Structures are given as structure tokens and as C-alpha cells.
Chain A
């Protein structure tokens, strides 16, 4: 997957986890928590969905990498390089 595809994949996960939120205006460089009502259980959902959908394992010490869309995509880029595009 390339960066744009990874972004779409993360957006899909967010739309499932936070179905009441409008994600169309999401700013990639601003943290998720500043823009969305997400708590720790929601972040665990992001980790779980990455694991379930793409078999990507995010260790606990890397959770901070998932703070914004930009940091999430950068973190996932090497991990999802081999994941086939949908």
C-alpha cells in the first residue's frame, strides 16, 4: 500500500470507530484527540482493527505514533508496504 491507500484504510477504520464524527475535514497534522472524541478504548480499537484487517501488529510502546493521521501513515508505511491494495 502507498501512503494515500494507507490514509484511506485508517479513515475507514475511524469511520467505523467514530460513526458520529464528520471526518471530511480531518486535518492530517493535528492530533486525532484535538479533532475527534476519541478515548483510550477507541485507540485500542484502531490497533485491533489494524491487526484484524491487515495483520499489522502495533506494540504498546508505539501507540504514540498513532496520534495524528500524518504520524499514523508515516508509522504504518513500512509496515504496510507489502499489504496488497484493495
Chain B
């Protein structure tokens, strides 16, 4: 019944209840700002490289190479976490991109909502590794451990770095977290809790051996002689996930505020939905995923045939890819014009940042009319043969009005965000 509250078309809402994106800051394995990221997505440039991590040894990962010292001193880098550093870089760049008069903006009215898949594994592993050198004597355990591992750390570091005195917290939502951060930001703006939301997701997961080892034990860690070909959702020869780090933070504002200051608007968060499978720890549930997509469409007040691009979640595991395609095939059966693509085939799975990053990679389609491709589909899995799947090369679509972004995670958490061109 709750869904009924959102039935009205977004364009029929008052501007104070319509939420728009006015700034984007990101770091991805193949780009450190939106322009570079988009160019590499259109050019087919992968960001997956060879990678070595303790205990697991040689593997592959999506590694970011942003300028850490652009917004932080070396002391802050030493004291904080990689997730915090990624969050700071993305947030600072998003504010810069937004054109807001930041120096004079009331920092009490800014909220920070950061999606994370997990937090604290990296710091705990590092501390235990260090402690091993002291025979596990806990008097050598760092006093930095708690502030580094509290679940709000990445959002808190942004607050400290930028002097933001409104609410800050993380949203733990497995790999649906990037979308969940955006949704939380939009909700807080609609409630009038804040006037500006810094919302999105971050991931430092490539620095924890546990993530790699666990996927390996699950038979879900990708391997390939050529790193750029390892992440291959929808392909018959896919063999798992490439873990990536990254971050993407958006500035969200009410449309009324954005218009009043003449802000550049990337798009409107026209619809969103989150739900749960309630069926398995790791296996996805296409019925619930389809339900989530439909709910987001309903809230946006549109039908599936109006969606130009679906940014898929597919990670390169056989069960995950086919289940998502089952859900999408059902929802979009009557919409042959809809195109589907996948950013993980370029950068791997950026975990808590994935949803926010993958959406950002598609947003420029509303101005350039292009749909970036899915890489590495040499032999399409018949179970993933969506009619509109864009493979190999980008496609020119002309005007793009709506983008739908899927992001799903373990324990059966589903999230969908729909962006509308304004």
C-alpha cells in the first residue's frame, strides 16, 4: 500500500519535492572525473589490471589512481581510511562540479549519505597483520582502529574534511549501496531535513584479502590471462567477479533550489525502489528483482517502453547474470526499443560504489545520445540474450530521456533508480 503514496508522476509534483542531480564527483578504475570515465566507456577502455594482495597472491582488480593529495594532507591520509579518502575526493569534486557557492553555503543544511558494501575489513586485516609481528600482544593494537572501522567512517571523514555539520552516515546495503545512498539523499531532501545531499557510494574492497578469498572459495572470482577480458557479464566464458575500488558522489538538490540558482542539472531522480528477496543469502531472485523494477517505474509514472537505457547490475557470475536477465526480459518484453548495457565489463565490480558509478557512466547519454556498450561478450549466453543488449561498440540512440539503473546485493537486497532528462 505504501507504493500508492508515490503514484503521481514526478513532473506533477511541486518543484520542492522533485530531486535533481547538480554535481558529480567520481573515481573509477578507468577515469577520475565524469568526462574521462565517459570517454573510456565509449572508447571501450577497461580499467582492470593485474593485482597482488596478501595471502591470495596474484589476481585481478579494478584499481583507482586519483590524486589523493588534491583534497587531503599526508597526515589525514595516514590517519584515515581508503574509503574515507575516496569519499573525500568524490565529494569535493562533486561540490566543485555543482557550481554551488560552497564557502557561503550553510553546512548545517548539508547531509552526507554514503553507500557501502562493507567497511572495516581492510583496517582490521591490516591491524591483525601488524599484530602478528608482535606475537598478537594487543598492547600493540592501534588506537586508530576504532575511528577507522566505525561504520560511519567514510561519511565521517567527508564531514571532517569539508566542515559539514549536518547529518552524516553510511548506508550498508551490500552491492545495492550506491543506489541506496542516492535514494537516502533524495528522501532526506523531500523531508526537508537538509537542503543539499552529498549522496552515492564508495568502495575500498580491493584492499581486503577476505573479499577475494571469499569469492574464490565461492567459485565466483574471475580469472583470465588478459586482465581487460576478465570481467565478462553475459558471456559464456565468464568465470566470476573482478573486484574493484571506486567512488561516486552526487550533489542532490530540490528542483526549486537548483532552478533558483540557475544550476546545471544532469537529470531528475524520477523514480526509485528498494525491496528484499527474502529467499537466499547469495542467490538472487528474479521475481523480486522484477518487482523492484516495476515499483520504480510506477513511482516514476512511466512504463517500461519509455526507458531508453537499462544499466544492468550483472557481475559476471552465471546465476546472477541469468537471473537478472530473466527479470528484465519479463519487465521489458513489450519494449524492443530499450537498450541494456553493463559497466562492470569495463571496471569490474566496484561493490558499494557500483550502483552510483554505473549510473554516472550512463547519465551523459541524456546529452550525447550514446549508449555505451558491454565489453567482452564474445559468445553470448542464450539465457542472457536480451534483444536490446549493446555489445562491443556503443550505439547512437538519439534523444535519451530515461535511464534505469539496477543494483543488487547479497542477502537479497534490490535497488533501482530511474533518471529523467530535464
Interfacial residues, chain A to chain B (CB-CB below 8 A): 16-20, 37, 41, 44-45, 48, 51-52
Does residue B51 face the partner (Cβ distance < 8 Å to A)? no
Which of A19, A48, A51, A52 lies in contact with B75, CB distance below 8 A? A19
With A41-B79, A52-B134: A20-B143 Cβ-Cβ less than 8 Å: no
A44 CB contacts on chain B under 8 angstroms: 143
Which of B74, B134, B140, B143 lies in contact with A41, CB distance below 8 A? B143
Assess the B78–A51 pair: CB atoms within 8 A.
no
Assess the A48–B140 pair: CB atoms within 8 A.
yes
User: Which 3 A-B pairs rank lowest in CB-CB distance, beginning with the nearest?
Assistant: A19-B74, A20-B73, A44-B143
Assess the A52–B140 pair: CB atoms within 8 A.
yes
Assess the A51–B139 pair: CB atoms within 8 A.
yes
Whole-angstrom CA separation of A79 from B74 in the bound complex: 31
- Chain A CB within 10 Å — which of B134, B140, B143 has the most? B143
B226-240 contact mask (Cβ, 8 Å, vs A): 1 or 0: 000000000000000
- Chain B CB within 10 Å — which of A20, A37, A41, A51 has the most? A20
Closest to A47 in B: B143
B75 CB contacts on chain A under 8 angstroms: 17-20, 37
Q: Give the secondary structure class of A's interface.
A: helix
A16 CB contacts on chain B under 8 angstroms: 78
Does residue B144 face the partner (Cβ distance < 8 Å to A)? yes
Q: What are 14 pairs between A and B in contact, CB < 8 Å? A: A17-B78, A19-B73, A19-B75, A19-B78, A20-B74, A20-B75, A37-B75, A41-B79, A41-B143, A44-B143, A45-B143, A48-B143, A51-B139, A52-B134
Does residue B218 face the partner (Cβ distance < 8 Å to A)? no
Whole-angstrom CA separation of A39 from B176 in the bound complex: 38
Closest to B75 in A: A20
Whole-angstrom CA separation of A17 from B139 in the bound complex: 19
Closest to B130 in A: A52
Does residue B142 face the partner (Cβ distance < 8 Å to A)? yes
Whole-angstrom CA separation of A19 from B73 in the bound complex: 8
Whole-angstrom CA separation of A45 from B145 in the bound complex: 12
B144 CB contacts on chain A under 8 angstroms: 41
A45 CB contacts on chain B under 8 angstroms: 143
A41 CB contacts on chain B under 8 angstroms: 79, 143-144
Cβ of A36 to closest chain B Cβ, rounded Å: 10
Whole-angstrom CA separation of A74 from B331 in the bound complex: 75
B143 CB contacts on chain A under 8 angstroms: 41, 44-45, 48
B73 CB contacts on chain A under 8 angstroms: 19-20
Cβ < 8 Å to A, chain B residues 101-149: 134, 139-140, 142-144
